[in-house]
Structure 1
Amino acid sequence: MLREATPEVEALELELLLEALLQRYGYDFRGHERAALRRKLRAVMRQRGLRTLSQLQDRVLHEPGAASSALRALHVPPATLFDDIDEARQLRQLVGASLRGAALPRIWLADCAGAEQAWTLAIILADEGLLEQTEIHATVASDELLAEAQDATITQEQLANYQAGYARSGGQGELSRYFAASGKRLAPTVALRSHITWAQYNLVTDASFNEFNLIVCRRALPDFGPVLRQRVLNLFHGSLAPFGILGLDRAIDAADALAPHYAAMPQPGWCRRIA
């Protein structure tokens, strides 16, 4: 009978699997928290009836479907429209402070959790009268996620279910006014979609590509280890305009070298650049 791997062996298996993902597919998860990686990969193993990470590594190297499943599990889980009511409320309070007065306001959704997270932000901006002059740059980690985001649609039933979250977040009226028929499904109106620019972008390796008035990365950061987290914070700092707002999963540590450059805001995890 096969036995479960010991913690020591599993730790070695995990490092080998991460190296395989990097060498074979170009995705570097070596800077992520190991506990988060194990949790996500064990879920893939259960789905595929595998007992060890070595078995998963074999599938990942030789079966495109297994590789896609593993990479999807390790990337940011997809959001649904207005699924985080607290964040949506906070954004309603903050977008005016970060965007009004800018000649061409730009927002970066870094490691965006899919199309519906970007749609949520665009709808909030439209509600607040700020969408027309604002550019949303939504970046995802893989070409597969990029294609899915660009082609995303929802059903009429999903839209009806999202109405309650929209209202709870402070939205007024019918959410349906922001959607139009796309075959038998629904897609955001052209007026909404035209303000969202999608791109593949790797937070681990890529450099700053623009200056932004608002940067949001609250869903990916919890899985980053301390070295990668610091690398990403420095990247955001170099990409944030003076007095721009940064949305993180938690406040910047007081001992961090970047801390003097930011002032905490009343909303948890949000801060404004002051220097």
Structure 2
Amino acid sequence: MAALSGFTAAETGLATEELEIELLLEALFQRYGFDFRAYDRQAIRRRLYRLMRKRGLATVSSLQDRVLHEPGVSAALLRVLSVAPAALFDDPEQARQLRIVLASCLRASAVPKIWLAEFGGAEEVWSLAIMLAEEQLHTRTEIYATAANEQVLAEAQHAAIPLARMAQCKDNYRASGGTGNLDDYFEVDGGHAVLAAHLRSRINWAQYNLVTDASFNEFQLIVCRRALPDFGPVLRRRVLRLFHDSLSRFGVLGIDREFDQGDAFGANYQAVFPHQGWYKRVA
């Protein structure tokens, strides 16, 4: 049959799996309202394999059956398809660049607003809040941390860091350019550390879907570095247009990589750092 059809068994299996993935993503959208259909297919496939291995499933179709009929599996799938949680100051070089951006782009605004779109867990947001405090900007800056997944939001709002992990967090903090005492930004509750209340009060947590929702405010800084790599070309263009519509003139956009040649809005931005994904909107 393979010889007659012109396809090898491997090609036929890959085509079948591709159809299974399409059906699963369509089921997620129709049943639960989460639209991953325009995400990069290889990124989706890697995450599906991870969940399938964990649950001992051989095919994507068997996963779809569990998602539709077994309580808890849909939540597990949505979590694995969402942005992976980040650790506090887990990317010191990016944090150093962000410190420079905060100092240069927010001081002129009376009440600056920052949008962390599809944030990578509470600790990414907390890292930003700490840097704002060190730049003396926290009392007048609002952080909007958004995610499409309600579970991700709930985890972030109730997050805490085990005290055993704080030593590593302090190493990352110092490597990111932090010069203070990291403990000063936290409250200890039992065996865990939680961001201080006066810094948490500047964070607005909200459910927001980059795939379907419209612009909801004007921001002086928009950061989306962890989710964009998962987006396919069409969705990426859609999201970059959304960010353009939401960013004030002379505001800064932080994305995962440089603009592609021919990006519709690339001419409206000026690079902040060479060969990095930080841009100031100039038009």
The TM tier, using the shorter chain, reads over 0.9
Note the 1:64-213 alignment, pairs <5 A.
64-213=71-220
> Is the Cα–Cα contact under 8 Å of residues 114 and 140 in structure 1 kept in the other structure?
no
Return the match for 1:272 from 245, 258, 280.
Answer: 280
CA distance in 2, matches of 1:78, 1:105: 26
Shift of 1:252: 1.6
Partner of 2:227: 220
Shift of 1:68: 1.4
Amino acid at match of 2:202: H
Shift of 1:210: 0.6
Partner of 1:58: 65
CA distance in 1, matches of 2:173, 2:70: 40
> Does the residue aligned with 2:72 lie in a helix, a strand or coil?
helix
> Is the Cα–Cα contact under 8 Å of residues 116 and 222 in structure 2 kept in the other structure?
yes
Amino acid at match of 2:222: I
CA distance in 2, matches of 1:58, 1:257: 40
State which drifts further: 64-73 or 211-220.
Answer: 64-73
> Is the Cα–Cα contact under 8 Å of residues 79 and 149 in structure 2 kept in the other structure?
no
Count of aligned pairs between the two proteins: 273
> Does the residue aligned with 1:64 lie in a helix, a strand or coil?
coil
Structure 1 residue runs of 5 or longer lacking an equivalent are: none
Cα deviation per residue 1:38-92 (whole Å; 9 max; x = unaligned)? 0010000000000000000001111232111111111100111011111111101
Partner of 2:5: none
Shift of 1:256: 1.6
CA distance in 1, matches of 2:261, 2:64: 40
Shift of 1:184: 3.8
CA distance in 1, matches of 2:201, 2:190: 19
Shift of 1:183: 4.1
Cα deviation per residue 1:158-208 (whole Å; 9 max; x = unaligned)? 122200000000001321111112344221111110111100100000111
Partner of 1:41: 48
Amino acid at match of 2:16: V
Q: CA RMSD in A?
A: 1.4
State which drifts further: 250-259 or 43-52.
Answer: 250-259
CA distance in 1, matches of 2:113, 2:180: 26
Shift of 1:238: 0.4
CA distance in 2, matches of 1:264, 1:95: 15
> Is the Cα–Cα contact under 8 Å of residues 81 and 117 in structure 1 kept in the other structure?
yes
> Is the Cα–Cα contact under 8 Å of residues 18 and 30 in structure 1 kept in the other structure?
yes
Amino acid at match of 2:106: L
Partner of 2:254: 247
Amino acid at match of 1:108: W
CA distance in 2, matches of 1:173, 1:106: 24
1:235 partnered with 2:279 = no
CA distance in 2, matches of 1:265, 1:192: 27
> Is the Cα–Cα contact under 8 Å of residues 79 and 151 in structure 2 kept in the other structure?
no
The runs of 4+ residues in structure 1 deviating greater than 4 Å are none
Shift of 1:120: 0.4
> Does the residue aligned with 2:52 lie in a helix, a strand or coil?
helix
> Does the residue aligned with 1:199 lie in a helix, a strand or coil?
strand
> Does the residue aligned with 1:23 lie in a helix, a strand or coil?
helix
> Does the residue aligned with 2:97 lie in a helix, a strand or coil?
helix
